[in-house]
Amino acid sequence: MSSRKTAVVVLAAGKGTRMKSDLHKVLHPIAGRPMLLHLLAAAETLSPERTVVVTGAGREQVETAVAPVGAKIAVQNEQLGTGHAVMQAREALAGFAGDVLILYGDVPLVRAETMRAMIARLNAGDAPAVVVLGFRPADPGAYGRLIVAPGSDRLERIVEFKDADPEERAVTLCNSGLMAVRGEALFALLDRLRNDNAAGEYYLTDVVELSGAAAVIEADADEVAGVNSRGELAGVEAAWQRARRAQAMADGATLIAPETVWFAHDTVLGRDVTIQPNVVFGPGVTVADGATIHAFSHLEGASVGAGAEVGPYARLRPGATLAERAKIGNFVEIKKAEVGVGAKVNHLTYIGDAEIGAGANIGAGTITCNYDGFFKYRTKIGVGAFVGSNSALVAPVTIGDGAIVGAGSVVVRDVTADSLALARGRQEERGGWAKRFRDAMTAKKKGQ
């Protein structure tokens, strides 16, 4: 990596009309994170001295999104082409001396390694003024072609498909639009751009010919896939998920049906984790070594301890924390609750705003009644406690260590340790009543 400083300019001024959305195009999520923030996170690993996002329509949304990462905003009020967009970063880059990486907010999957390779090539011995990122799609279609000098990576020119002759169209190396430019040359080149074309726009690609010294490096086609429609958004999501699944398995997790598992951008898996089919991870999930996530479970904002089990058909919501060997079974929902070592919540249960002690057992149909319509309250269930099926624990309430709550109880007061709590109506039996009732109703029905 060069010792020269780096700046990043991200172009995000496009209106994104094909998305048909009130949300700015570059803020549509990939793996639970806005695509622009995917790109900025990768760029941040280069430790850039300055990061500039060029935006236009919907700038308020973009400004809000990038504020936490400290990016500067430049505004392109008129859409006059990619070259014109980069010109808007002039003030934000005033006094900068180094290399400028130019990226696109709707091309979110560019790897940090590729960015570094672009900068490294810019600072190689022959020091080109411009480095362009190329790729070889399965169908080159209408992409612009990169014409490279034989036997080298020297880029002679970029030819738009509509202007290319048959020989040029046969070239499979295509232009991604991404480039790195030596900062001392950037604005001098941009100032020489002309807009004497059918669209009346200033094209960034023209700096290649103007520079007289350009090179090209290549990236995988998935890495430079752009998003201009909902269909393309789905395609980029699919590409990201494929790569993440492969990485998870390479790192020691077992995915029974990889194509059915969906990760978030920050999912963390330990070794020997098993993930069964049709599992969805929302943001903020950590799964420790040896845990099993059974089929059709959904996890978000949750921590799963070593050797714990979740599901099938379980939901862990934000704040759910499972200790080692905890068991969360089918149709169980956990929210903002800590489940202790070896504790079991096996069936048809809601546990919210609660603490469950080690080794406790929560019966089927149990509910922590944590909300009164205005405030949330906590339930504490002690070590080794047993809560019978179909019980309602009305918070705030504490079930002591080793206590037993009888099935069907509605508990509204604390239960002391090692006690039995029963809170249900007295059972009565009236002999023969059911037969007399059936006989009477049958006779009545016949008389109609």
Query: Minimal CA–CA distance to 163: which of 152, 147, 177, 176?
Result: 147
Rounded distance between C-alpha atoms, residue 274 and residue 360, angstroms: 25
| Residue-wise DSSP of 333-354 | EEEEEEE-TT-EEEES-EEEEE
* Tokens, residue 384: 């080794």
Catalytic option among 28, 38, 298, 347 = 347
| 3-state class (DSSP) for residue 48 | coil
Residue the block writes with tokens 């970029």? 158
Residues contacting residue 380 through CB under 8 Å, at least 6 positions apart? 354, 355, 397, 398, 399
Q: What is the residue whose two structure tokens read 């492969």?
A: 246
Measured from the Cβ of residue 212, the count of other Cβ atoms closer than 10 Å reads 9
298 labelled catalytic: no
C-alpha–C-alpha distance, residues 188 and 198, integer Å: 24
Q: Using DSSP, state whether 41 is helix, strand or coil.
A: helix
Q: What's the residue count for the chain?
A: 448
Q: CA-CA distance, 313 to 328, in Å (whole number)?
A: 10
Q: How far from 152 is each of 105, 114, 144, 174, 433, CA to CA, in Å?
A: 30, 19, 19, 16, 97
Quick one: CA dihedral 28, 30, 35, 40, positive or negative?
A: positive
Number of other CB atoms surrounding residue 219 within 10 Å: 21
Q: How far apart are CA 397 and CA 401, in angstroms?
A: 13
CA distance 432 to 443: 17
Residues annotated as catalytic (active site), given as ranges: 347
